[in-house]
Amino acid sequence: MGWLYRLNPLAKVIALAPVLAVVALTTDPFAPLAFTALALVLLASSRVPLHSALYALAPMLLVLLGFVVLYPFLIRRELVSHTPTLLQVGGVPIYEGAIMAGLRAGLRIIALVSLALLFNLTTDVSDFMRALVQQARLPYRIGYSIMVALRFAPLLRYELELIRSAHRVRGIGQPGLLGDFAQLRRAIVPLLASSIRRAERAALAMDGRAFGAFSTRTHFRRVRLTPLDGAFVLAFWALVALVMLALQALGVLGPLSFVQRV
């Protein structure tokens, strides 16, 4: 198992949250590219299968293409009219600045998704909940209620299949994407009804075992926050600072702002 898997999930969130905010503020295309590369290198160093990352990032290339194509038609002309005109489409001038704005927005989203993969692909949700209860002081009644509900996930999936099968047996449903959505719409009411029934039974069982009777409780499985987690957070921030300093030195960082430079 790679080193990212062994870290406390909270450490990953603490490390990533400010970096995601910084990436959202970037206004040049090079910073998002650098952060995407950084995320991919860290994933590879932690032996995360590359196809998992590509599976997430491939649709983002279409997003990038869409942004580059659409931004020239949506952006305020006075912001980009000082940049060279590349071509005319149906009488609308396509400015280089507008295409660059689309490119920047698309690359920023790719960078955000790439960095988020450091958490998504290496974290067990139950461990994240345990860390929230044990380290972040989330009231355990809330934390463990959510964990009980998370345990229902395979049951809900089975239940959903059962509902779909029942619909198929009755000849309801059609193939294709629209058919899938219609099926989801039909399934949601019985799914909610059976889930709530199951929750009530589980709640009675938990109350019967005095769940929530004490302000503190013991834990079957401990998730620990070790010095290694602290070192990861600091090292990650240092690495990000280093990348930004390098971009600054190369003159391609650009200002950090919510207002788009064109």
- Binding to other proteins (CB under 8 A) within 193-232 occurs at 193, 195-200, 202-204, 206-207, 211-215
Q: State which of positions 151-170 bind other proteins (CB under 8 A).
A: 152-153, 156, 160
Cα(144)–Cα(133) distance, integer angstroms: 8
List the one residue from 44, 50, 136, 192 that touches other proteins (CB under 8 A): 192
Is 145 a residue that touches other proteins (CB under 8 A)?
yes
Q: Does 149 bind other proteins (CB under 8 A)?
A: yes
Q: Which residues neighbour 110 within 8 Å (Cβ) at sequence distance 6 or greater?
A: 32, 36, 57, 60, 61, 63, 64
Q: How far is 196 from 255, CA to CA, in rounded Å?
A: 50
The type of residue at 156 is L
259 binds other proteins (CB under 8 A): yes
> Among residues 48, 105, 240, 247, which is the contact residue for other proteins, using CB under 8 A?
105
By the rule CB under 8 A, 112 interacts with other proteins: yes
User: How far apart are the C-alpha atoms of 132 and 135, rounded to whole Å?
Assistant: 6
Residues 120-139 that bind other proteins (CB under 8 A): 120-121, 123, 125, 128-129, 139
Could you say whether residue 191 binds other proteins (CB under 8 A)?
Answer: yes
SS3 35: helix
Return the residues of window 84-103 that contact other proteins according to CB under 8 A. Answer: 101
CB-wise, 168 or 180, nearer to other proteins? 180
Whole-number Å distance between alpha carbons of 3 and 22: 25
CB-based contact 198:107 (threshold 8 Å): no
Q: Is 30 in the site for other proteins (CB under 8 A)?
A: no
User: Quick check: 250 binds other proteins (CB under 8 A)?
Assistant: no
Which one of residues 150, 172, 241, 246 is an interface residue with other proteins (CB under 8 A)? 150
Structure tokens at 82: 């000082």
- CA 58/CA 87 separation, integer angstroms: 28
